[in-house]
Amino acid sequence: MNYQWYPGHMTKAKRQMQEDIKLIDLIIELVDSRVPLASRNPDINELGKNKARLILLNKADLADERKTLKWQEYFEKQGFYVVKINARSGAGLKAIQGVISEACKEKTERDQRRGIKNRPVRAMVVGIPNVGKSTFINSYAGKACTKTGNKPGVTKGKQWIRLNKSLELLDTPGILWPKFEDQKVGLRLAMIGSIKDDILNAQELALEELGYLKEEYPGVLHQRYGIQESEDVIQMLREIADVRKCILKGGEPDYEKAAAILLEEFRNGKLGRISLEQPPEGTKDE
């Protein structure tokens, strides 16, 4: 399966971001802790040259904690400020203001030397679809100031939000990039729900996920569904269909329904804390 999704409004959004970047002191980039590299748009590094950078490892409650710590170390070595958060519950949000002050210290000192006092830090919030930008802004601001949704592509236009006298946020639509050079990136984004399900083959995606879970998290599928883990991923999906009573007329297993259940339960954390990536060579788990 070829994983691509790049609606027309994303091209427009990227052009707008290129204009807005001139007004910005800091880029706050949300990534999904389960796929920190796959959920980073490579265009953001080019857009954000010479700007202070903060990466928020969102949905940290769904990811493998050991791997998330490795990712935090990986990004910090590259010069990013990093905070682990769960935007939905609010975990980790209190640490952000202090980190923003540290990241923008040079800018604040420069303002003071010029006699400019109390000018708020202007931060652009960026991230791919469905990574939790709007939920983060709403939680951080303490009120519903942007639309949120559990499907990619809800935020269509830009909007400024003044949080307090020292910080203003610019929300932006989630943008993917026109072509995934590595189809594994598209596969991982499809697994976490950042590519619209209605253009995907759920059964193929579920089979890929079963193979990964069996290799990287042995025992998880048996614990959740009571099935035998084997090399035959189709058989495993058949057993999940049986356990969850996904049966078509005539007694055939409903693979489509079973696949949808597996994907939803992975995305919601019901299979446990699972990461689909680990940092590049040299920073692996012990």
In angstroms, the CA 263 to CA 79 distance is: 34
pLDDT, position 15: 74
Report field, pTM of the whole predicted structure over 0.95: no
Highest mean pLDDT among 34-48, 69-83, 139-153, 186-200: 69-83
In the DSSP assignment, the letter for residue 79 is T
| pLDDT, tens only, 70-87 | 999 999 999 999 999 999
Percent of the chain with pLDDT over 70: 85
Average pLDDT of the residues in 19-26: 87
List the beta strands (DSSP E) in the chain: 26-32, 52-58, 81-84, 121-126, 159-164, 167-171
- For each of the domains in the chain, give its residue range(s) and CATH number, in order of start: 8-171 (3.40.50.300), 201-267 (1.10.1580.10)
Indicate the burial class of 88 (C-beta count within 10 angstroms; 0-12, 13-18, 19 or more).
middle
- Say if residue 34's pLDDT is above 80: yes
> What pLDDT score was predicted for residue 284?
44
Question: pLDDT digit string (tens) for 208-224?
Answer: 999 999 999 999 999 99
Is the pLDDT confidence value at 120 over 70? yes
**Which of 57-61, 111-115, 141-145, 264-268 comes out lowest in average pLDDT?**
141-145
> Are the beta carbons of 35 and 190 closer than 8 angstroms?
no
Contacts (Cβ under 8 Å, ≥6 apart) of 263: 191, 193, 197, 202, 205, 206, 209
